[in-house]
Amino acid sequence: MNRLIAPSAAAVAAIVIIGAAVAVARPEWLPSALHGQIGLAPESAPAEAGLFCKEHGVPEKFCTLCHEELKEKLLLCAEHGGIPEDICTLCHPEVKDGLKIVVCEEHGLPESFCAQCGRGPSASSDALDDGWCATHNKPESFCLECQLDPEAHLSPGAKVCLEPLPIVRLASAELSRQVGIETALATEVTHAHKLTFNAETAYDANHYAEIAPRVVGFLHDVRVDLGRVVKQGEVLAVVDSAEVSSAKAQLITARASLDLAQVTYERTKSLSQTGAIAVKSELEARTALNQAKASSLDAEQKLRNFGFDDERLSRIVEDQDTKSLLDVVAPLDGQVVMRHAVKGEPVQATDPIFAVTDTSTLWLWIDVYESDLAALKPGQPVTLTVSGGDDETFSGRLNWIGTEVNQQTRTTRVRAELENRGEKLRANQFGQAEIQLGDEHKAVVVPKLAVQRKDNVDVVFLPQEEGGVYRPQRVTTKPADKRDALEVTWGLKAGQRVVTKGAFLLKTEIMKGAIGAGCCE
């Protein structure tokens, strides 16, 4: 008996081994009842179909639901939800029977891949036209290339870097609430485009004067203090200087010499004309007169440099005044904002002892990034908010734009003139300057949170009437006058609702599900 059992067991083992080899090498030789049990394609499926995914009803090598990485390797059908082209039963009806694929009776697509039933990818490619020219990456209504040649983007070899964006379909409206999606209305407001920069106030140099005594000496008297409002020509201080008395004496001497030279010349000229003296004497007398005039002019100019006018010069000669006192006067109307003057202290000719300025206007120095310079021009309104203040603003206008860029900060200084309302501004205060670039206008504004960036284009998501469905809409935007909002210049109308919280999540869905994502070479 044992002799019979051993050969029988060996024969059974041999049959099993041969059967396994046949199943691998020629599965079509096996009975169809065994196909599903060993993971092979159903009966009539071609041998190249390979292993079959029983969970999703398609060949395993086309199942992108089990193998996400296959999306990068397979050709996907953009028209029908981004399913692999090889199992798209609408584009290729023959594969339904050839691969024994279970399809959705209502839509005719593989049942597990039917995006319209909600069992496929969350982002489908049944996108609507959002009015964006994908070829030239701009709104079609603004695309000059398409207006000149409507079929330019259809020509062979044209590069289309942006594909239509797919609609995002969540499983249900309840899922939208669970993931925290929120929406807001696009509103119409009146505003103007503005740029904000760091700024610093300074005295208006056109109405500012630093006052020095002009001579070496000692302060004989100080007549004003800080904060004093003075008029042009008002005496601020008196300096006692030997230079002043010396210059006065020089003027008196020069004038006397001039008078003598004038009389001598006239007498010599009359004698010369009668022949009583030689003509040479007349020439010598004229030379002496000219030298006396030069000396007198030199003496006058020294005193003019000290601030003496014609009337005071005449009084010096008439009164034989050689006093050493010099008045230091205000050259303009304004307020005394600096004083380095103490009675009796020595002073130098060029050392400022007072500063006077008109504080009703101030300059504002603004540091502007070089990338923003092209938008600026003189005359644009400027508003300053002082740092650490009570949010009170001061208004003015841009009156000068710098001609060079700082090599370290890459900024250019521009200047505005501000009205110092109520004398509340001080020089050297820091703040934020807003420069208004254009006139106020009506604009559609959305929260900045609603705007996402994809393929270098701004995108918002519009909730549809069908719950859990969101349509992406490309838009063009500009900064608004609020930091948490953006102006939509194209792509939206006031009253449309956009997704705010959760917009980034929807963006990740269209990036995952979009066909041909990324820019072409």
The per-residue DSSP string of 468-493 comes to: TEEEEEEEEEEE-SSTTEEEEEES--
Out of 267-276, 377-386, 388-397, give the one with best mean pLDDT. Answer: 377-386
Instruction: Write the CB contacts of 130 (distance below 8 Å, at least 6 apart in sequence).
Output: 164, 165, 471, 472, 473, 474, 491
Q: Of 18-32, 78-92, 201-215, 451-465, where does mean pLDDT reach its minimum?
A: 18-32
- Cα–Cα dist 502/487, whole Å: 20
Q: Of 28-32, 61-65, 361-365, 503-507, where does mean pLDDT reach its minimum?
A: 28-32
Report the pLDDT value the prediction gives residue 136, as an integer from 0 to 100: 59
b/e for 459-495, b at 16 or more Cβ within 10 A?
bbbbbeeeebbbbbbbbbbeebbeeebbbbebbbeee
Percent of the chain beyond pLDDT 90? 52
Determine contact, residues 139/132, Cβ cutoff 8 Å. Answer: yes
Whether residue 33 is predicted with pLDDT greater than 50 in this model: the reply is: no
Whether residue 458 is predicted with pLDDT greater than 60 in this model: the reply is: yes
Determine contact, residues 322/299, Cβ cutoff 8 Å. Answer: no
Q: Categorize the per-residue pLDDT at 12 as very low, low, confident or very high, splitting at 50, 70 and 90.
A: very low
Report the pLDDT value the prediction gives residue 178, as an integer from 0 to 100: 81
Token pair of 309 as six digits: 């006018």
Q: Categorize the per-residue pLDDT at 171 as very low, low, confident or very high, splitting at 50, 70 and 90.
A: confident
Q: Of 27-41, 126-140, 267-281, 418-432, where does mean pLDDT reach its minimum?
A: 27-41
Residues found in the chain = 521
Report the pLDDT value the prediction gives residue 125, as an integer from 0 to 100: 42
Report the pLDDT value the prediction gives residue 163, as an integer from 0 to 100: 62
The overall longest dimension of the chain from CA atoms, in Å, is: 183
Report the pLDDT value the prediction gives residue 320, as an integer from 0 to 100: 94
Q: What is the pLDDT of residues 496-512, one digit of tens each?
A: 999 999 999 899 888 75
Determine contact, residues 382/366, Cβ cutoff 8 Å. Answer: yes
Determine contact, residues 279/272, Cβ cutoff 8 Å. Answer: yes
The 3-state DSSP class for residue 193 equals coil
Determine contact, residues 191/481, Cβ cutoff 8 Å. Answer: yes
Spatial CA neighbour of 170 closest among 473, 506, 422, 459: 506
Q: What is the pLDDT of residues 269-300, one digit of tens each?
A: 998 888 888 888 889 999 999 999 999 999 99
Name the strand (E) or helix (H) holding 386: strand 381-386
pTM (predicted TM-score): 0.58
Determine contact, residues 277/268, Cβ cutoff 8 Å. Answer: yes
Determine contact, residues 203/426, Cβ cutoff 8 Å. Answer: no
Spatial CA neighbour of 57 closest among 112, 98, 94: 112
The 3-state DSSP class for residue 162 equals coil
